[in-house]
A and B are shown apart, each in its own frame.
Chain A
Amino acid sequence: MYRYTDFDADFVAERNRQFRQQVARRLDGSLTEDEFKPLRLMNGLYLQLHAYMLRVAIPYGTLNARQMRRLAEIAERWDRGYGHFTTRQNIQFNWPRLRDVPDMLDALAEVGMHAVQTSGNTIRNVTADHLAGAAADEIADPRPVAELIRQWSTDHPEFQFLPRKFKIAITGSPNDRAVTRAHDIGLRLLERDGQTGYEVIVGGGMGRTPMLGQVIRDFLPEADLLPYLEAIVSVWNLLGRRDNKYKARIKITLHEHGIDALRTRVEDRFAELRPAFGGADRAILAALRRDFAPPALAQGRSTRVFETARAADPVFRAWCDSNLAPHRAADHAIVQVSLKAHGAVPGDASAAQMRALADLAERYGHDDLRISHEQNVVLPHVHKADLPQLHAALTAQGLGTANIGRISDIIACPGMDYCALATARSIPVAQEIATRFQALGLEDEIGPLKIKISGCINACGHHHVGHIGILGLDRGGVETYQITLGGDHSETAALGQRIGPGFAADEIVPAVERLVQAYLALRTEPAETFLACYRRLGPEPFKTALYGAGNEARPDAA
C-alpha cells in the first residue's frame, strides 16, 4: 500500500502544528467560535449533539494492521473505547475532548493518516470498491488512481472554497460496489482496444434531491484523468450556485444546465488544462502502481482443511456462504467481517475488535484491511486453508456474524443518537430490525436484501438506494419513518420510490416485517430476490402489505 513520502509527512505535520496552535488560541479565548469553526472543520472536527466528533479519512477504505492498531489506541486513550466506521469509508470518534484532538491527529500522522478534508466545502475522501485488488471480477485495481486523486485533491489551492462538498468514488470492476452513480463524480475503470480508461459519471448524489449521475465521457483515456477531473471541478466551482446551499451541489448544476452544456464547458476547460499537466501525474501514477502491487499469494497450498471444515460444521458453512466473496485466485477468498452483530450498532468496533482484526490481517491476510461503505471490514486476501481458524478467531471477538448482504446487514447513519443534523434516530431502528428477523429465523430464507436507514434528509445512510430505504423525520415533534422501495446501489442503480405515509417509531419494524412477509409470499421462487420481485410486480402489492387493501385510508402522517 501507499506509504507517506517526506512531502506527505511534512505537510500533515505542519497542518497538525498549525491546528494545535489554533486549538490553544480557541481555548485561551483569543479566537471566537466563528473564527475557529472553519479551522476545526478543515481538520475533520465537528461539534455534534453530545460532544465533539473527529472524522478520520481512510483513503479508498484501505488500512494496514499498524494503522488499525493505532485507531484502537486512539479509541482507548482519547475516546470511549470504540470507533464508528461510516458509509464514506471514514472512522468517527464520538467523544474526543478539544484539547486532546491535536494529540490524536499527531498519533494518526505517525501512521500515515489524517483528517484533512473530511469536512468542509472541499473534495472529500476518495472512496473505492472495498474488494479492490482482490475481486475475481475486477479489470484492474482502482486504488493507485484513487491515491493519485487523493494527492491531487488534498490542499488543492483552487478547490478549498468550493460551492459545497464534493465526493469522488471509483471502481475497477463492472459490478459496482462503490455506488459510483450516487457521487459528484463516479469513475468506472474500463478497457477498450487494450487501453485503460474511465467512464466518467457526473452529478449523482443523494440528500434531499437524489439524482443518479450521468455519463459525461464514456471513455476517458487514463492519461487524461487528472486534467479532466480538474476541468469538471473547475467548471462547477464557477458555475455552481453559492446563493443556496441546497442547490450548490453539482447534481443541481447538471440539472439546471443539462449534460450537453456542462460537457461543452468541461471539454473547453479540459483543452486549456491538459497541456499544463505535462506528464508529472502519469509519472506519479506509475510509481503508485508499484505501491499497490498485489501480495505474493501462497502457491500450491492445499485447501482440504477448508473443504473438510465446511462439510462438517454448519455454522462455518453458513458464514462461508454469506461472508466470502470470490478472490481472483481460486484457492483464496475475500473475507467480509460483519460489524452488524444482531442488536449491535452498525459500523461500531471496539478497540479490542480493531486489535483483533489487525492481528488477523497480519497472520492470515497480507497485512491488508478494508472498510466498506456498507460499514463492514474486509480481509481481502485469505488462503482458504486459513478460513476455519480465522472464523474461530473472529467468532471469539463477536465478529463472526454470518449476515453479509442479508436483512440484518443494515447501513445506518449515526442519526439523532449522535448527529446534530439528524431529525430522528437510526441506530435503534437498525438494531430492532436485526434482532426481530433473527428471532423469526428468516434471514437465510429471505436472502439478499439491503435495508438502508438515514436519520435525516441528507441521506448519509444511503436510504435512496436501499432495496428498502428508511428515512427518519421529525413530523410535528414525533419521530416518523418514511419507507422507500426499489432502490439499488449497484451497477443497475435506481432510486427508491416513496411508498406512502410514514410510520411512528413503534410501527416501523412491524411495517418492515409486513413488507418482507409479502415478498416471501409473492416471489416466484427462492432465487427471486426482494428487488427482483419488486421490479416484477411494482409497488402495489407492497403498498397493500403496508397499508391494507384500502391503501389510502390512513391520513398522511408524513
Chain B
Amino acid sequence: MPRPFTPKVVTANALTEGWVIYLTEDDRWTRSLSEAELLTDEAHAELRLIEASARSAEAVGVYLAEMKPGPDGPEPVHFREDFRRAGPSPRAVPLMTEGS
C-alpha cells in the first residue's frame, strides 16, 4: 500500500531579499506560513510546485515542505521548517544598539 500523502506547502526564498516565502492559494507569495496554501492532494501539490518553479524571477529554490494542519494554518513537521518560519533563535541574534 502506498504511504499516505503528508500535507505540504510550496516554499522558496524571495529573489530580491532572500527571505523565506510561501505560496498562497491565490498565487501570491507570502512571508507568513499561516497564509500558505496547505496542499493535501499529491497530484495537486506536484502541479503547484511546477507552477511556482516557473516563477523564477520571483523565487529561488522552490520546493514542497511537509506540514500538518493547525488552528492557525499549516504547522511545520520538521524543526528546520520551524526555524525557517521563525528566523534565527532570539538568542542567536545579537542585541543591537543600532541598526534594525
Q: How far is the CA of A350 from the CA of B97 in the complex (A)?
A: 8
Within 8 A of A (CB), among B39-78: 56-57, 60-61, 77-78
Question: Which residues of B, 4-41, contact A by the 8 Å Cβ criterion?
Answer: 13, 15-20
Contacting residues of chain A (37-94) with chain B, CB-CB under 8 angstroms: 47-52, 75-76, 79-82
Q: A29-B57, A47-B13, A474-B80 are in contact. Are A81 and B91 (CB under 8 A)?
A: no
A207 at the interface (CB under 8 A from B): no
Say whether A428 contacts B77, CB under 8 Å: no
With A50-B19, A427-B89 as given contacts, are A348 and B94 in contact (CB-CB < 8 Å)? yes
Interface of B is mostly: loop
Bits for A343-363, please: 1 = Cβ < 8 Å to B, else 0. Answer: 111001011100000000000
Pick from B77, B84, B99 the residue with the most CB of A within 10 Å.
B99
Beta-carbon nearest neighbor of A72 in chain B: B98
Contact partner of B99 (CB less than 8 A), chosen from A76, A427, A428, is A76
A413 CB to nearest chain B CB (Å): 12
Size class of the B contact interface (CB-based, 8 Å):
20 to 34
Cβ A425 vs Cβ B92 within 8 A: yes
Given contacts A79-B99, A81-B99, A350-B96, contact A425 B17 (CB under 8 A): no
* A:414-442 near B, CB below 8 Å: 415-418, 425, 427-428, 431
Query: With A and B bound together, what is the CA distance between A76 and B97 in angstroms?
Result: 11
Q: Are B99 and A82 in contact (CB under 8 A)?
A: yes
User: Which residues on the B side are within 8 Å of A348 (C-beta)?
Assistant: 94
Report whether B98 and A417 are in contact in the complex, using a CB–CB cutoff of 8 Å.
no
Interface presence of A477 (CB below 8 A): yes
Query: Is residue A32 within 8 Å, beta carbon to beta carbon, of the partner chain?
Result: yes
A479 near B79 (CB under 8 angstroms)? yes
Query: CA separation between A387 and B17, bound complex, in Å?
Result: 43
* Given A26-B15, A81-B99, A351-B99: A417 and B83 interface contact (C-beta under 8 Å): yes
- A99–B18 Cα gap in the complex (Å)? 11
Contact in complex: B88, A477 (CB < 8 Å): no
Task: State whether the Cβ of A33 lies closer than 8 Å to any Cβ in chain B.
Answer: yes
Expressed in whole angstroms, the Cα–Cα distance for A48 and B84 within the complex equals 10
Q: Give the residue of B13, B84, B97, B100 whose beta carbon is less than 8 angstroms from that of A80.
A: B100
Q: Which of A334-381 contact B (CB under 8 A)?
A: 343-345, 348, 350-352
Chain A positions within 8 Å of B77 at CB level: 477
The binding surface of chain A is classed by DSSP as: mixed
Interface size on A, residues (CB 8 A): 40
CA distance A31 to B84 in the complex (A): 26
Query: Taking the complex as formed, is A532 at the interface, i.e. its CB lies under 8 A from any CB of chain B?
Result: no
B1 within 8 A of A: no
Assuming the contacts A33-B56, A49-B83, asked whether A428 and B78 have C-beta atoms less than 8 A apart, the reply is: no
Residue ID in chain B nearest A351 by CB atoms? B98
A477 interface neighbour in B13, B78, B87, Cβ under 8 Å:
B78
Assembly CA distance A484 to B15 (angstroms): 39
Residues of A within 8 A of B83 (CB): 49, 416-417, 425
Q: Is A27 an interface residue (CB 8 A)?
A: yes
Complex formed: what's the CA distance from A479 to B97 in Å? 31
User: Is A285 positioned at the interface, with any CB of B under 8 Å from its CB?
Assistant: no
Give the residues in chain B near A474, CB-CB below 8 Å.
Answer: 79-80
Contact B96–A51 (Cβ < 8 Å):
no
Bound-complex Cα distance A83 to B1 (A): 51
Take A33-B60, A345-B92, A425-B92 as given contacts and tell me if A98 and B15 are in contact as well, using a CB distance cutoff of 8 Å: yes
Flag whether A257 is at the interface (Cβ < 8 A).
no
C-alpha spacing A80/B56, complex, angstroms: 27
Nearest Cβ on chain A to B75's Cβ, whole angstroms: 14
Instruction: Tell me, in angstroms, the Cα distance from A6 to B15 when the chains sit together.
Output: 35
Is the CB–CB distance between B99 and A80 below 8 Å? Answer: yes
Q: How far is the CA of A479 from the CA of B57 in the complex (A)?
A: 34
**Distance between Cα atoms of A546 and B78 in the complex (Å):** 28
Complex contact B97–A50 (CB within 8 A): no
Q: Which residue of A lies closest to B57 (CB)?
A: A29
**Are A82 and B96 neighbours in the complex by a CB distance under 8 Å?**
yes
Say whether, besides A32-B56, A82-B99, A418-B88, A52 and B94 are in contact (CB < 8 Å).
Answer: no
Contact among A82, A99, A344, A417 with B89 in the assembled complex (CB-CB below 8 Å): A417
With a cutoff of 8 Å between Cβ atoms, the chain B residues found around residue A47 in the complex are 13, 18, 60-61
Minimum distance in angstroms from B97 CB to a CB of chain A: 6
In the complex, A17 has a CB within 8 A of chain B:
no
Cross-chain contact A51 with B92 (CB below 8 angstroms): no
B99→A52 contact, CB < 8 A: no
Q: Across the interface, do A344 and B94 meet the contact criterion of CB distance under 8 Å?
A: yes
Residues of A contacting B13 in the complex (Cβ-Cβ under 8 angstroms): 47, 51
Residue of B at shortest CB range from A424?
B79
Say yes or no for A97: interface residue by CB 8 A criterion: yes
On whether the beta carbons of B92 and A352 are closer than 8 Å, the reply is no
Partner of A76, one of B57, B78, B91, B98: B98
Instruction: Determine the distance from Cα of A48 to Cα of B88 in the docked complex, in whole angstroms.
Output: 12
Q: How far is the CA of A28 from the CA of B20 in the complex (A)?
A: 20
CA distance A164 to B59 in the complex (A): 28
Residues of chain A within 8 A of B60, CB atoms compared: 33, 47
Question: Chain B contacts of A81 at CB under 8 A?
Answer: 96-100
Collect the chain B residues with CB atoms within 8 Å of residue A52's CB.
Answer: 17-18
Known A27-B15, A81-B100, A425-B83; further 6 A-B contacts with Cβ < 8 A? A49-B84, A51-B13, A97-B18, A416-B79, A418-B92, A427-B89
Residues of B within 8 A of A (CB): 13, 15-20, 56-57, 60-61, 77-80, 83-84, 87-89, 91-94, 96-100
Q: What are 7 A-B pairs with beta-carbon distances under 8 A? A: A28-B57, A49-B83, A50-B88, A76-B98, A350-B98, A415-B92, A418-B88
4 closest cross-chain pairs (CB), A and B: A81-B99, A417-B92, A29-B57, A417-B88
